[in-house]
Structure 1
Amino acid sequence: MRIVYLAVVLLTLSTVGDAQAAPAAIYSDPPADPAHPAGMVVLHIPSHGVLINGIVYTPAGTGPHPTIVICHGLPGNEKNLDLAQALRRAGWNAVTFNYRGSWGSPGTYRFAQNLEDADAVLTYLREPSTAAKLQIDTKRIVLAGHSMGGWVTVMTAAHDHALAGAILISAADMGLLGEMNHDKLVAEMADNMEGLAGVTAESMANEDAQKSKAFGFANAIPGLKDVHLLVLSANDGLAPQTDALIQAVLAEGGHNIKSVHAATDHSWSDRRIFLESTIIDWLSTLQ
């Protein structure tokens, strides 16, 4: 019995030690601030004639607060809302949104429009009235994206140099995807259409194929050399794409890149705490 008891104690100490090594926002709530409580605000963001849907998780305390915008993938079943909640506990505004034609946002869905919508979200958040209302520090906005949202982040960060940084989570190069065999590309799209309006698997495949050169990571490389980048890859087959992006940015003169690989799936299903901890720790290094 004594041996069993010691084993339990050692396991408990090990678990506590692991928890203590993680940022406090991972495992504990921040102090409540009755005067400036944490909250959630629904957003209706103007983008090309319609109002797309979004939310912002707002942290407790007086602002302005640093802000992260999280771009979901295709179709966006994994929206990383646990990450958004952890970031709020760490003192960040955490914004998520749905591209036109996805998950109830008005309009029809198009890959090219996703890039326009990301720009529209950033423009909206930087407007003085919005920034004041949501207590946003407009000089400390970071863009993050998962899967196809990582592609949105790459292409956006390449030209929006007012961003404080960019985070790629298992990012997918939509340009390379567009070079896939047509029938296989249609099949790929057919498996990723939940919540999308105004498209078919064929139309999505056609758009990606026709714009594969314009959609490629290669077009973003010159604009990324001065961007603070956190690149997170997994065992999902996409790591070579972001590895190549990193090497190309370094060759261009970039020097602000941190890369982390985890042995997990595309959704980071069994590494969520690791994912959140890594991102929070990296964000703390930004000036």
Structure 2
Amino acid sequence: MRPFVLALALLLPAAHAQINSALLVDPNPDLKFPARNLDVTIPSHGTPLPGVFYLAEGNKPHPTVLLLNGLGSEQNGDLAQTLRRAGWNVLAVHSRGTAGVTGTYTPATATEDAEAESAFVQTNATTYFADPKKVVPLGYSEGATAALALFTQNAQIPAVVLISLPTQGAPGAPKVATRPVLLFSAEDGSAPQTEALLLAIKPTSPHSLHMHMRTDHNYATLRIALQSITVDWLARQFRPEH
């Protein structure tokens, strides 16, 4: 445990250098409204997008993460499970042109698919015990481009998490306004554009944060730190209902 605690101490402010319980402890089960994995299919511009809705336990409205992955093999399932233990729903859907889904993956189509996923949560908020005012895109790699585009185009989205944002993904800072942004970069070339975006929005978005992690594009050696920082930061922006 000692190397992990040291890693968090180096990455987090002193007041937050602790291990979030969602990483290590399963919650007491709600036998009437248990956590479940639900297969979903979401239509987007004539194409059915398959995915999984990680439903958090309990029947109160939960904040919900839209997990938007890129083109690689990393699907961030560990992050989805940790977020659910922390009281979040997570919707993870394969975009067009990925994982055998028909179509071609482009930044434009990925953004359209993200919009379809967001609309799905809004429309089915009662069914999935989702709080429609607390839907947060979390984008990884190319998915971060789609997450940021969705965030900038919809002023009702309260926050966004961006992991290894590609160069072409950074928009004009005025579109982001005062809403909080959590940014991760790694030793994969994503740091310069991430730092530039944070510097541009920091004067108006004081709750935004950039964490640079000394690991590869898959965050393979710091997965637990990635999860802990994400859950901790989101908890400070929102309070999930259990």
TM-score scaled by length of structure 2: 0.88
Shift of 1:15: 7.7
Is 1:56–1:95's contact at 8 Å kept on the other side of the alignment?
yes
Equivalence for 1:281: 232
> Please, which runs of 5 or more residues in structure 2 have no aligned partner?
9-16
Residues 59 and 246 of structure 1: is their aligned pair in 2 closer, same or farther, counting only changes over 3 Å?
A: same
Residues 225 and 23 of structure 1: is their aligned pair in 2 closer, same or farther, counting only changes over 3 Å?
A: same
Output the amino acid matched with 2:161: I
Root mean square deviation of aligned Cα = 2.1
Equivalence for 2:179: 227
Equivalence for 2:142: 148
Equivalence for 2:36: 39
Residues 16 and 70 of structure 1: is their aligned pair in 2 closer, same or farther, counting only changes over 3 Å?
A: closer
Report the structure number with the largest CA radius of gyration: 1
Output the amino acid matched with 2:87: G
Cα distance in 2 for residues equivalent to 1:122 and 1:60: 21
Cα distance in 2 for residues equivalent to 1:82 and 1:16: 17
For residue 157 of structure 1, give the secondary structure of its aligned residue in structure 2.
helix
Shift of 1:225: 2.0
Residues 16 and 166 of structure 1: is their aligned pair in 2 closer, same or farther, counting only changes over 3 Å?
A: closer
1:258 is aligned, of 209, 222, 230, to 209
Give the helix-richer structure, 1 or 2: 1
For residue 281 of structure 1, give the secondary structure of its aligned residue in structure 2.
helix
Is 2:66–2:135's contact at 8 Å kept on the other side of the alignment?
yes
Shift of 1:165: 0.8
2:220 is aligned, of 266, 269, 273, to 269
Q: How does 1:83-162 map to 2 (within 5 A)?
A: 83-127=79-123, 130-162=124-156
Shift of 1:17: 7.2
Aligned length: 229
Q: Could you tell me the percent identity over the aligned residues? A: 34
Equivalence for 1:61: 58
Is 1:144–1:153's contact at 8 Å kept on the other side of the alignment?
yes
Which structure ranks higher in relative contact order (CA pairs < 8 Å, sequence separation ≥ 6)? Answer: 2
TM-score scaled by length of structure 1: 0.75
1:50 is aligned, of 32, 44, 47, to 47
For residue 121 of structure 2, give the secondary structure of its aligned residue in structure 1.
helix
